[in-house]
């Protein structure tokens, strides 16, 4: 069984990761909150999350083999 996710799951994963990074935190510095709301920061986060998901998708087989070799059970 591969670790891989469907295209829909990969898209959701990228979106959830971006939301987590962009969401405000209690007690967060107002300067950080303002920076997080900037278009440049938001675009960078979206790009980074998409790149992370692309790497996972492209290396799915190798990741699966490494997990199996390490004895990590697959669901």
User: If phi over 0 gives left and psi between -120 and 50 gives alpha, with beta otherwise, what is residue 71?
Assistant: left
* Residue boundaries of the structural domains of the chain: 7-69
Asked if residues 41 and 35 have their Cβ atoms less than 8 Å apart, the reply is: yes
Residue 75 pLDDT: 61
Asked if residues 63 and 3 have their Cβ atoms less than 8 Å apart, the reply is: yes
Report pTM: 0.64
| Cα 56 to Cα 58: distance, rounded to the nearest angstrom | 6
Q: Write out the chain's pLDDT in tens, 75 residues.
A: 455 567 788 788 888 988 989 888 899 999 998 999 999 999 999 999 989 888 888 887 788 788 888 888 766
């Amino acid at each position: 069984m591969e670790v891989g996710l469907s295209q829909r799951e990969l898209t959701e994963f990228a979106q959830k990761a971006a939301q987590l990074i962009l969401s405000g935190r209690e007690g967060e510095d107002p300067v950080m909150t303002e920076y997080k709301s900037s278009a440049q920061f938001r675009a960078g986060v979206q790009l980074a999350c998409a790149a992370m998901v692309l790497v996972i998708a492209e290396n799915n087989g190798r990741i699966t083999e490494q997990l199996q070799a390490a004895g990590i059970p697959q669901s």
